[in-house]
Structure 1
């Protein structure tokens, strides 16, 4: 089995288990888990996993800073979720571009 299929399989199984765990946790805490919060959690974990797999452990610091920044109450019109998800996507794309450029440089030498 190739690495990509194993990676996808592990992620799917782990996400199903985490959704079940958070659903049970919310059931006991009388809170509701929305689809948006589930998707946001999947995006967060995918970002961290992707960053660690490509060798950028420093993004853990960035991730923590973004989480703290979204907890600060602000009167701006930009919602915390929009700010957080936008930054995760932006940094992920920058990492992806870097990998693609590095691959292209390695292939042309």
Structure 2
């Protein structure tokens, strides 16, 4: 039963997080689609990676996560003007902080319900 509760809480949080990200995404960044499934899936995979890493006592995975996010971000600088780039950078930073906080919350839930 505890595993079921844990999974329901994570699923609920992911749905709410998807809605929240859609609301806070600036219109200049938002894609024309109502739901960007690719971004949602990437976020879920990132949080699963962080959850598994922290549950198994590998907090240095946060450093790897940060390095990978930075590496994937470097190319984008040449593609946008300065104002749009600044807006995207702010959104990107806030989104990553929220994602890491949610992963830490998942670890808390895991320890409470399963661990």
TM-score when normalising by structure 1 = 0.58
After superposition, residues 75-86 of structure 1 pair within 5 angstroms as none
Q: 2:36 aligns with which of 7, 30, 34?
A: 34
Name the residue aligned to 2:109: none
SS of aligned partner of 2:75: coil
* CA shift for structure 1 position 10: 1.8
Name the residue aligned to 1:70: 72
Which whole-Å CA distance do the structure 2 matches of 1:57 and 1:13 have between them?
Answer: 25
The count of corresponding residues between Structure 1 and Structure 2 is 71
Name the residue aligned to 1:16: 15
* CA shift for structure 1 position 37: 0.7
Name the residue aligned to 1:107: none
Name the residue aligned to 2:107: none
* CA shift for structure 1 position 49: 1.2
* CA shift for structure 1 position 73: 2.1
Q: 1:44 aligns with which of 43, 46, 52?
A: 46
Which whole-Å CA distance do the structure 2 matches of 1:38 and 1:44 have between them?
Answer: 10
